[in-house]
Structure 1
Amino acid sequence: MESDVNDVIVVGGGVIGLTTAVTLAERGLRVRVWSRDDVTATTSAVAGALWWPYRIEPAVEAGAWALASLRVYGELAADPERTGVRWVPGIHADTDMDGLGPWARQVPGLRRLSAGQVPGPYGAGLAARLPLIDMPVHLAWLRDRFEAAGGRFERRAVTGFDEAAARARVVVDCTGSAARELVPDARLRPVRGQLVLVENPGIDEWFTAADAGSSETTYFFPQPGRLVLGGTAEEGDERLTPDPATAAAIVARCARVRPEIAGARVLGHRVGLRPARAGGVRIEAVPLPGGGRLVHHYGHGGAGVTVAWGCAERAAELACG
């Protein structure tokens, strides 16, 4: 009979949960992931997934986590077909270096552009070659890497952490938006993101124009077999059904930058709820009855992919401490 002894149970199978589970398993711990959904059905699977510290706090810690993750993605990009990670050039419109944190000075090749170098109705911007992650491929690769390290992935819904705590000395809460009810944490708020997938009309660079104070963003990411168009950042909106008017507006905004997008055949629509949290990411250990430990690790908003590896190391330190 297979042993049911665990050192750690990670609750949540999105990019934060899987990256944390990989980090723990590769430290030699016996780790299980309990996930309500298959990895390709999580919120993470919907992400456009360009590395960039977008709408995430606390700023200083997030910058360090992002840079740590950038180093890992740089290594993973050596095998893009397996890992889903590629280096892709592109432009952040209406973004200036002075408005970014100290982390920006450590991004190789990040440079200013003049207004004439930025397409569409935008002023100056920044250019860079950054990791762009094909999330369905990357999530499946993370699960395979986790299992190769001895971990076990289980489809399992939870209504609290007591059951996991009865079967492992450490429980890591990577439940994202679900932590609002499970913890509970009233600081969590969903930020709705809607995307449109179209046939790629020949675009090989990414583009973003994202005003942090607006619910509308404009971006497109060339992924294998599709071009991902976005998007929205609608706080407090929990609708999971794509809105046709929103989709049409997304296509129109992207077409103002690259007109050929207007005629691209639509392949599908995606909606995800980013797990944003007032006060920023929570990575904190609290004691459990009987001497165990619960490590909360959620609230990454739309930057979970960007900070995943750096945050996972911090969560692993608390889990092993």
Structure 2
Amino acid sequence: MKSVRVAVVGAGVVGFSTAVCIAEALPSCSVTVLAEKFSPDTTSDVAAGIVFATAFPDIPLERQRRWFKDSFDHLLALAQSEEAPEAGVMMSSGYQIFREPPADKNPLWSEFAIGFREMSDSELKRFPEHTFGQALTTVKCECSIYLPWLEKRFRKAGGKVEQRKINSLQELSSSFDIIVNCSGLGSRSLVGDSAVYPVRGQVFKVEAPWLKHFIRDGDGMTYIYPGIHSVTVGGTRQQGDWRLHADRGDSEAILERCCRLEPSLRGARVLGERVGLRPGRKNPRVEREAVQLGGRRVPVVHNYGHGGWGVTLAWGTARDALGLVRQCLQEMPPRAKL
């Protein structure tokens, strides 16, 4: 009989990645994902899902590199497997371009990306407003396909799913022995973390099957990412903005910037427009604490605050969260494990 009851709060890419890691590695645990919204209604579903990263200021670089490598290796293996179509994961080659050369020409993730190199002068000619660029192959994950695939994998490992809004960890104190908080922006209210804030992202999905390579402006504001069924073009990074409706001014600016980089987009048919609120934070929170709930101390593992890098770091931070859950199990009294 499964003895330790684990709740994972949140059903985005971080929540389901964490739930899968725990359910598969710890068969003695009964794992339940609880969330108000599931795919296709999560923030992850809006994400372009391409694997890039940025450095966080207060987390050791080695830990960040491990997060990236673990995620990249996991998604690359999927992209190269027979499960790729069902998982919605593909390899993607293209260019990251800069108006001015970046201070760090070899970012922390560059050694893991495939064929990472500086662009040649002839390649840069195509982008006259940019003076420096990098060519590489990375991985792209279509979350509207990947999240249902992760859920299926989770259920196969014995996991349970419950659609329910959790307003307070107190609600879970009598039903679960360990709580894993992957609630993203919801952590503002759920655990009172005012350090997490919305970063509004607006994107288009367009039909442009002639586009095969991504183009990403190094400032992260303008990007064109061909996917399996459509091309994602964006975007915005509006901090502290809670608006969930598409803004016409943003729409026009996005299309104008993207068409400047890729003129053929002017002929693309718009399939839809979506807005998501990324869980911004100075640093992602991947740590554990003991919280007083219902008269007892309950171990809580946090894994949230990835900003626009949820898909990029989800599997890596999920493995860290799994390690923290293991520590919680080791410190539990024997009776709790029976």
Verify: 1:142 aligned to 2:150, yes or no.
Answer: yes
SS in structure 1 of the partner of residue 301 of structure 2: strand
CA distance in 2, matches of 1:200, 1:310: 32
* 1:126 and 2:134 are equivalent in the alignment: yes
**Equivalent position of 1:49 in the other structure:** 49
For 1:231, give the aligned amino acid: G
Task: From 297, 300, 304, give the equivalent of 2:310.
Answer: 304
- Secondary structure, counterpart of 1:8 in structure 2: strand
Q: Does 1:285 align with 2:293?
A: no
TM-score for the superposition, normalised by structure 2:
0.88
TM superposition shift of 1:168: 1.3
* Secondary structure at the counterpart of residue 37 of structure 2: coil
The secondary structure found in structure 1 opposite 2:118 is strand
Task: Quote the Cα distance in structure 2 between the aligned partners of 1:134 and 1:97.
Answer: 31
Deviation at 1:207, TM superposition (A): 1.0
* Correspondences of 1:90-105 after superposition (within 5 Å): 90-94=94-98, 98-105=104-111
Q: Offset of 1:192 from its aligned partner?
A: 0.6
Shift of 1:96: 5.0
Contact conserved, 1:96 with 1:126, CA < 8 A, in 2? no
Correspondence for 2:18 among 20, 33, 43: 20
| Whole-angstrom CA distance in 2 between matches of 1:59 and 1:134 | 29
Match runs of 1:1-321 below 5 Å: 7-27=5-25, 28=27, 29-54=29-54, 56=56, 58=59, 60=61, 61-77=63-79, 78=81, 79-94=83-98, 98-118=104-124, 119-120=126-127, 121-211=129-219, 217-278=221-282, 280-289=283-292, 290-321=296-327
Distance 1:210 1:271 in 2: 21
Q: CA deviation at 1:244?
A: 1.2
The code of the aligned residue for 2:93 comes to P
Letter in 1 for 2:70: A
Q: AA paired with 2:73?
A: R
Describe the superposition over 1:262-301 as per-residue Cα deviations: whole angstroms up to 9, x where unpaired: 12111111101110112x0111111134343011111100
> Comparing 268-277 with 116-125, which one deviates more in the overlay?
116-125
- Distance (whole Å) between structure 2 residues aligned to residue 92 and residue 59 of structure 1: 25
Cα distance change on mapping 1:108 and 1:265 into 2, 3 Å = closer
Q: TM-score w.r.t. structure 1 length?
A: 0.93
Query: Partner letter of residue 292 of structure 1?
Result: V
Secondary structure in structure 2 of the residue aligned to 1:13: coil
State the distance in 2 between where 1:115 and 1:256 align: 19
Shift of 1:93: 0.6
- How far has the Cα of 1:59 moved from its partner? 6.2
Q: Runs of 4 or more off by more than 6 Å in structure 1?
A: none
8 Å contact from structure 2 (residues 222, 235) kept in 1: yes
Gaps of 5+ in 1: none
Q: Tell whether the 8 Å contact from 1:242 to 1:270 is kept in structure 2 after alignment.
A: yes
CA distance in 2, matches of 1:177, 1:142: 21
Q: Deviation at 1:106?
A: 3.4
Aligned length: 314
CA RMSD between the two structures: 1.9
- What CA deviation, in whole Å up to 9, does each residue of 1:133-165 have, x standing for no partner? 111000110000000000011101011111222
* CA shift digits 1:28-85 (9 cap, x unpaired): 1210000111222100010001001146553613222011111111111123211111
User: In the aligned structure 1, how far is the partner of 2:54 from the partner of 2:245?
Assistant: 24
Secondary structure at 2:14's aligned position in 1?
helix
- 2:72–2:112 contact (8 Å) kept in structure 1: no
The structure with the larger Rg is: 2
| Contact 1:53-1:63 at 8 Å conserved across structures | no
